[in-house]
Amino acid sequence: MRFGFFTLCAGGIGALTVSAITYRIFIPEHDASLKFFFPNPLFLIIFFFSAVFYLYVSSYKMLLAVVSGKVNPRIVHFRTRLRSDLARMVLAEAITLTPGTITLDLNDDHLTVHWFFCSTSHARLAGEIIKGRLESQLSKVWT
């Protein structure tokens, strides 16, 4: 099967047309704005490099914890200030990608995370430590 230029253009136009007609049916009213779907490219690049940086920092921290045996695993619950469902999902995935944390549940703006290096039992402080700067950067990506 060959994909010619005309076939790809016709498929793209058809997909955009169907999406434009039906997006209000499948997407909640508060997320129906295009600003919740299209990220700001500059802040997306900054977020990507920050996430990679945190991934490396977390990896070294995990290595030191495994060697030293100093761990304190706990399950913590906290909230996010992000309004877009897409931004919340990206935050949950970024938390899961960093070694030592796994997002167990994302329900609206509540996150449940297994944290390998728990240093506090206070939910808000734990959330700020785990989210770090990623949440504020994501709020700029999807404003």
Helices 123-131 and 85-97 meet at what angle, rounded to 10?
80
Q: Quick: pLDDT tens for 102-126.
A: 999 999 889 999 988 888 878 888 8
Contact by Cβ (8 Å): 131, 111: no
* Sheet (strand 101-107) strand order: 74-79, 110-115, 101-107
pLDDT on residue 40:
84
Q: For residue 36, what are its two tokens? A: 């919740």
**The whole model's pTM is what?**
0.74
Give the pLDDT score at 39.
81
pLDDT in tens, 7-55: 889 999 999 889 888 877 776 665 556 666 678 889 989 999 998 998 8
Query: What is residue 46's predicted lDDT score, i.e. its pLDDT?
Result: 92
State the average pLDDT over residues 84-89: 85
Nearest in space to 87 (alpha carbons), one of 49, 136, 54: 136
Q: What is the domain partition of the chain in residue ranges?
A: 1-32, 33-141
Mean of pLDDT values over 66-76: 88
